[in-house]
Amino acid sequence: MKPATTHPDKMTRSERQEIGQLIRKRERVMKAQVAERGAAMMAEFEKQCGAIYSFDEDETWAKAMQETEKAVEDANVVVAARCAELGIPKEFAPSIQVGWWDRGQNAVAQRRSELRRMAKTRITAIEKDAIVKIERLSLEAQTEVVANGLVSSAAKEFLERMPTLDVLMPSLDARELKKISDRRHKAEETQEEVDEQ
């Protein structure tokens, strides 16, 4: 009886199976982590969007607010004096008002809603991109494991012949697209001429 040929530089069948299982488990866990990370990103956005900044929580802001309030007070004295000269009763007199907008644009519900939609769209795109990357890395790792176990030249050639994405989706050629567009426009013009007759 002839002993089985061993290849010390090749993984054993059981090693390939175990590594293959591990790769697929890692893929599943990483995909679950994508959803988890997306939820955390949305929560962080909501936190930022809902933040309120009081003028007295920062020394520079507090000083600016004090200076502004003093300037408004002085300006209102001038406005009140002019109103008195013009005979405008105090209850109808204009005045200058300044306030601290503690949420900026996020105080407006419509703006928050718009930002929230933008955040959800962006997070969804990031999640989809991450899933594609995870699946691609998993496929590359699984392919490497399988390739390591291939012994026959026929199996190796078969693996090498499998088409890549570049072959399945070649790059666009702007000149070729222009030719197609020109032909389409020409056909439309010809059809319009026929319709007019």
Any idea what the Cα angle at residue 46 is, between residues 41 and 49, rounded to 5°? 125
Residue 196 has pLDDT above 90, yes or no: no
Once rounded to an integer, what is the mean pLDDT over residues 57-67? 93
Q: Residue 104 — left, alpha, or beta (φ > 0 → left; ψ -120 to 50 → alpha)?
A: left
Q: What angle do CA 104, 106, 112 make, to 5 degrees?
A: 160
Residue pLDDT, tens place only, 74-124 = 999 999 999 999 999 999 999 999 988 888 777 788 888 898 999 999 999
The more confident residue out of 125 and 106 is 125
Quick one: pLDDT at residue 100? 87
Residues 6+ apart with CB under 8 A from 97: 72
Please check the confidence at residue 3 and state whether its pLDDT lies above 50.
no
Report the range of poorest mean pLDDT among 27-41, 58-72, 95-109, 127-141.
Answer: 95-109
Domain boundaries, the chain: 13-150
Provide, rounded to the nearest whole percent, the portion of the chain with pLDDT above 70: 96
pTM metric for this prediction: 0.59
**Which pLDDT value is given to residue 5?**
54
pLDDT at 4 over 60: no
